[in-house]
């Protein structure tokens, strides 16, 4: 069994003191060239790596970021996570990830676990339950522990911190405008996220555009339970004229596609579909689904970059105020809209 080599062992073998060895490995100029070379050679021979735990204990830095996501079985968050991990790795940071399953209590518990296992900072998208309850003291308290937080996508005005969001309101306007411009008169919005900040913004944006166009009707179906929602949508499509559907989230889009196909309506001739989720489903459906691209990976990497800057501030400048970065979405025109 290969034991991990420590400074102590190197020092002993070289007949030097521990501190000399430590300094040599840092190329400290106060150590002689000759000694440095000797030390580094032996260190390389043994493949010495400093014990990260000891370094962390000493420095109170762990080079670890805590990531708290509402769910992972969701293209958006999975993609964001990917962006986070990639960006973190660039700077030598690791990520510890937990999933709250949209539960407030889990969010509280995991946050505690993360802070007490000493992550240097936290990236977080609020759980649905947290947004509904609007209880965020578990997050604001992090400031007292001096742990920087970056919120992304699911944010809260009550929390003072750096944030990265998309332009939900505008994106939704963009989507509805696209439908109307292509001749849709009767738009149906489907949402499973009406309780979320992003869902509300999207609803407002959609309504805004429709109101501006006289004569147009905006109906909304808020889905809470998948089966019931599916029935409701099916019934609605049978009993109302609908020629365009906007799905606010992955599940809504999936339901829309499935049901429109099931009742035998042609996409986009009879019903156009546009969605907020760029999942495999959207990309490989027939026709391919027009999508608002949320740039999830960029969202993740921007959140990480912000956090890294907050954790390692430029000594030259004074601490900048909290910013909210808004990532512009783009309309990925595909075949499900005219």
Partner DNA sequence: ATGAAAGCGCTAACAA
Partner DNA sequence: TTGTTAGCGCTTTCAT
**Which one among 9, 86, 234, 293 touches a copy of itself, defined by CB under 8 A?**
86
In three-state secondary structure terms, 106 is helix
Evaluate whether 128 touches 196 at the Cβ level (below 8 Å). yes
Rounded CA-CA distance 86/78 in Å is 12
Evaluate whether 201 touches 231 at the Cβ level (below 8 Å). no
Query: Smallest distance, Å, CB 229 to DNA?
Result: 49
Q: Which does 98 bind (CB under 5 to 8 A by kind): a copy of itself, DNA, none?
A: a copy of itself
Q: Which is nearer to DNA, 21 or 171 (CB)?
A: 21
**Which one among 19, 27, 51, 217 touches a copy of itself, defined by CB under 8 A?**
51
Beta strand spans in 167-271 (E)? 186-191, 217-222, 244-247
Rounded CA-CA distance 221/230 in Å is 10
Instruction: Compute, in degrees rounded to 10, the torsion defined by CA atoms 67, 71, 77, 83.
Output: 30
Evaluate whether 153 touches 299 at the Cβ level (below 8 Å). yes
Q: Which is nearer to DNA, 55 or 132 (CB)?
A: 55
Q: Which is nearer to DNA, 10 or 306 (CB)?
A: 10
Which residues in the 258-317 window bind a copy of itself by CB under 8 A? 258, 261-262, 279-281, 283-286
Q: Which is nearer to DNA, 28 or 181 (CB)?
A: 28
110 binds a copy of itself (CB under 8 A): yes
Q: Which is nearer to DNA, 60 or 280 (CB)?
A: 60
254 binds a copy of itself (CB under 8 A): yes
Label residue 186 exposed, middle or buried (CB < 10 Å: 0-12, 13-18, 19+): middle
Instruction: Compute, in degrees rounded to 10, the torsion defined by CA atoms 213, 291, 221, 243.
Output: 60
105 binds a copy of itself (CB under 8 A): no
Evaluate whether 11 touches 20 at the Cβ level (below 8 Å). yes
Rounded CA-CA distance 68/156 in Å is 15
Q: Which is nearer to DNA, 60 or 315 (CB)?
A: 60
- CA torsion through residues 271, 277, 283, 285, sign: negative
171 binds a copy of itself (CB under 8 A): no
Contact string (CB under 8 A) for a copy of itself, positions 111-150, x = contact: --xx-xxx-------------------------xxx----
Q: Which does 312 bind (CB under 5 to 8 A by kind): DNA, a copy of itself, none?
A: none
Q: What angle do CA 84, 86, 88 make, to 5 degrees?
A: 65
36 binds a copy of itself (CB under 8 A): no
Rounded CA-CA distance 249/199 in Å is 9
Evaluate whether 18 touches 7 at the Cβ level (below 8 Å). yes
Q: Which does 31 bind (CB under 5 to 8 A by kind): DNA, a copy of itself, none?
A: DNA
Q: Which is nearer to DNA, 50 or 287 (CB)?
A: 50
Interface ranges with DNA (CB under 7 A): 4, 6-8, 15-20, 22-23, 25-26, 28-35, 50-51, 54-55, 57-60
Instruction: Compute, in degrees rounded to 10, the torsion defined by CA atoms 284, 290, 186, 268.
Output: -50
**Which one among 78, 108, 216, 331 touches a copy of itself, defined by CB under 8 A?**
78
Tell me which residues touch a copy of itself (CB under 8 A): 1-2, 4, 49, 51-54, 56-57, 62-64, 72-73, 75, 78-79, 81-82, 85-86, 89, 92, 94-99, 110, 113-114, 116-118, 144-146, 250, 254-255, 257-258, 261-262, 279-281, 283-286
């Amino acid at each position: 069994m290969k034991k991990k080599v420590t400074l102590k062992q190197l020092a002993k073998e070289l007949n030097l003191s521990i501190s000399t060895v430590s300094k040599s490995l840092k190329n400290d100029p106060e150590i002689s060239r000759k000694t440095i070379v000797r030390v580094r050679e032996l260190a390389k021979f043994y493949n010495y790596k400093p014990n990260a735990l000891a370094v962390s204990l000493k420095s109170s830095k762990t080079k670890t970021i805590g990531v708290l996501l509402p769910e992972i079985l969701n293209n958006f968050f999975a993609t964001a996570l990917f962006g986070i991990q990639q960006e973190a790795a660039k700077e030598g940071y690791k990520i510890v990830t937990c999933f709250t399953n949209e539960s407030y209590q889990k969010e509280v518990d995991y946050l505690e676990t993360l802070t007490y296992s000493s992550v240097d900072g936290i990236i977080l998208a609020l759980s649905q339950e947290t947004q509904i309850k609007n209880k965020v003291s578990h997050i604001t308290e992090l400031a007292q522990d001096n742990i920087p937080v970056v919120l992304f996508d699911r944010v809260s005005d009550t929390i003072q911190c750096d944030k990265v969001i998309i332009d939900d309101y505008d994106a939704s306007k963009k989507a509805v405008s696209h439908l109307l411009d292509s001749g849709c008169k009767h738009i149906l919005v489907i949402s499973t996220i009406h309780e979320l900040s992003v869902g509300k913004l999207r609803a407002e944006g959609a309504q805004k555009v429709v109101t501006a166009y006289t004569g147009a009707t905006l109906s909304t179906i808020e889905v809470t339970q998948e089966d019931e929602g599916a029935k409701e949508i099916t019934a609605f499509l049978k009993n109302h004229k609908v020629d365009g559907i906007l799905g606010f989230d992955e599940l809504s889009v999936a339901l829309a596609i499935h049901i429109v196909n099931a009742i035998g309506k042609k996409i986009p001739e009879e019903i156009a579909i546009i969605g907020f989720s760029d999942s495999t489903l959207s990309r490989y459906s027939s026709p391919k689904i027009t999508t608002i691209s949320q740039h999830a990976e960029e969202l993740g990497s921007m959140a990480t970059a912000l956090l890294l800057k907050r954790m390692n501030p430029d000594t030259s400048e004074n601490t900048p105020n909290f910013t909210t970065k808004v990532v512009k979405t783009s309309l990925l025109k595909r075949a499900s809209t005219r």
